Chains A and B, each alone.
Chain A
């Protein structure tokens, strides 16, 4: 390719379009959401009656995966089944698709835990895991 034949304005123009596109896209999306009031809740938050989370919510936001991994190791490898299980989560966060998946899908995160494990929604499974009748 002979670069000397390339008009000098072309690369800056292409770069300008690429650099400005995300800002334009975000502004457009914002205007669109404003105009058609698409403001559905992003995360389905548990109602106030469910009580507090097992850890500080802002810590959970970043580190729930650490907690889940610790629980897994304790349960599966050391055989210590504590009070907190996945079932405990599902008491308040009833629908995985409207809570967990929201962020995971948004950042291309596909945890494979639930390919095998069932995220029960406060049903008999969860109760049994917690030792209740």
Chain B
């Protein structure tokens, strides 16, 4: 049943040329080639019978109907496996158009919006990276040895910082506000998306469990055909992030964690399970990023616009400088290891600042859309059917 969500009362449509121009500029160049044959919606394995996509999104995009696109859960169900793009008789590349729509949606739901507009400028991000490196470096060089502010919490715990000029307590005080800010911006964005999806039903816990299962097992990715192996690069990066997140939690709470049986809380032994996990997770992200870069450079996809590269690039720089810190530390190359550390911290800082305005934000918005759809449909898209 290929019908647009029918509106019984005629509503005047105001095409938004400016929005359409933005879509075209951010990767949807071939948008206008679409002649509505609906091959894309038919071949898409992720698209469901009731509300197929991406045909309807293609015409909404051609008309620049941004309100409909931003209130549409289906843009988040697309995993850009390019099954549609590879079969499109007109070469309109619906997968890339959907990606461009998601990009605009992330910027639309982020707050403040001018921050999102700044984040898509390469110059701004490079400036931010250089500035925060300089500030951190100067901060570390200007002052003398700092007293341990957290000393009173657990006097029997030993935590040796990587660089005593930038002790752990200083970094915790420095990064926690950014993380809290990130969380509030993304919670706000998710609330606005949810409001637009017009679902205010509180009984979504079943949907949430099923969606978590879907995300962990990559069930939607698994249904892609043309570029199914992208699933594995995504897995490497996602699970790598999870691993590093767990290690970070352990390190940051080391001073008051009652489960810690060692007096020496940090640094780890190279063969400590935590260190092994951190190294494996870092390697997983690095391999995943390399595979993603390879996929983007390969003929099947477009190289993508700055927005696509920004998050990937920052993650790659963060992991590479992290490993550089480790190697330089074990090699005891003193001034250089501090420089690498400062660049590493600055990259992580920029990554955290830009989190809600970068591709990372797909994590919260896609999860929200999946929960919404799973809840709305009972036999949900985004949830593997029991019979399978």
What residues make up the interface of A, taking CB atoms closer than 8 Å to B?
3-4, 8-9, 11-12, 15-16, 18-19, 21-23, 25-27, 29-30, 33, 42-43, 58-59, 61-63, 102-103, 106-108
Is B208 in the interface zone, CB < 8 Å from A? no
Asked whether A15 and B235 contact (CB < 8 A) given A29-B261, A62-B161, the answer is yes
Which stretch of B57-65, B81-89, B273-281, B306-314 is in the interface? B273-281
Instruction: Report B-chain residues with C-beta under 8 Å of the C-beta of A11.
Output: 232, 235, 239
Q: Which of A12, A21, A27, A42 meets B264, CB within 8 Å?
A: A42
Instruction: Report B-chain residues with C-beta under 8 Å of the C-beta of A4.
Output: 228-229
User: In the complex, A37 Cα to B216 Cα: how many Å?
Assistant: 39
Closest to B278 in A: A22
Closest to A22 in B: B273
Instruction: Report B-chain residues with C-beta under 8 Å of the C-beta of A18.
Output: 243, 277, 280
Do A22 and B277 have beta carbons less than 8 Å apart?
yes
- Shortest Cβ distance from A70 into chain B, in angstroms? 14
- Shortest Cβ distance from B81 into chain A, in angstroms? 13
Asked whether A103 and B260 contact (CB < 8 A) given A11-B232, A23-B246, the answer is no
What residues make up the interface of B, taking CB atoms closer than 8 Å to A?
145, 147-148, 151, 158, 160-161, 164, 167, 216-219, 222, 228-229, 231-232, 235, 239, 242-243, 246-247, 250, 259-264, 267-274, 276-277, 280-281, 284, 330
- Shortest Cβ distance from B152 into chain A, in angstroms? 11
Do A107 and B264 have beta carbons less than 8 Å apart?
yes
Do B264 and A19 have beta carbons less than 8 Å apart?
no
Given A18-B280, A107-B267: 18 more A-B contacts, CB < 8 Å: A11-B239, A12-B216, A12-B239, A15-B235, A15-B284, A18-B243, A22-B272, A25-B273, A26-B260, A26-B273, A30-B259, A33-B261, A61-B160, A102-B264, A106-B262, A106-B264, A107-B160, A107-B269
User: In the complex, A57 Cα to B63 Cα: how many Å?
Assistant: 70
Instruction: Report B-chain residues with C-beta under 8 Å of the C-beta of A108.
Output: 269-271, 330
Do A19 and B243 have beta carbons less than 8 Å apart?
yes
User: In the complex, A12 Cα to B231 Cα: how many Å?
Assistant: 11
- Shortest Cβ distance from A44 into chain B, in angstroms? 12
Do A3 and B229 have beta carbons less than 8 Å apart?
yes
Instruction: Report A-chain residues with C-beta under 8 Å of the C-beta of B167.
Output: 62
Closest to A33 in B: B261
Task: List 7 A-B residue pairs with CB atoms under 8 Å apart, sorted by A's residue number.
Answer: A12-B235, A19-B246, A26-B259, A29-B261, A42-B263, A62-B164, A108-B330
- Shortest Cβ distance from A51 into chain B, in angstroms? 19
Instruction: Report B-chain residues with C-beta under 8 Å of the C-beta of A8.
Output: 217-219, 222, 231
Instruction: Report B-chain residues with C-beta under 8 Å of the C-beta of A106.
Output: 262, 264, 269
Instruction: Report B-chain residues with C-beta under 8 Å of the C-beta of A63.
Output: 145, 164
Closest to A102 in B: B264
- Shortest Cβ distance from A6 into chain B, in angstroms? 8
Instruction: Report B-chain residues with C-beta under 8 Å of the C-beta of A107.
Output: 160, 264, 267-269
Closest to B274 in A: A22
User: In the complex, A61 Cα to B330 Cα: how many Å?
Assistant: 19
Instruction: Report B-chain residues with C-beta under 8 Å of the C-beta of A25.
Output: 273
User: In the complex, A15 Cα to B284 Cα: how many Å?
Assistant: 10
User: In the complex, A3 Cα to B259 Cα: how many Å?
Assistant: 40
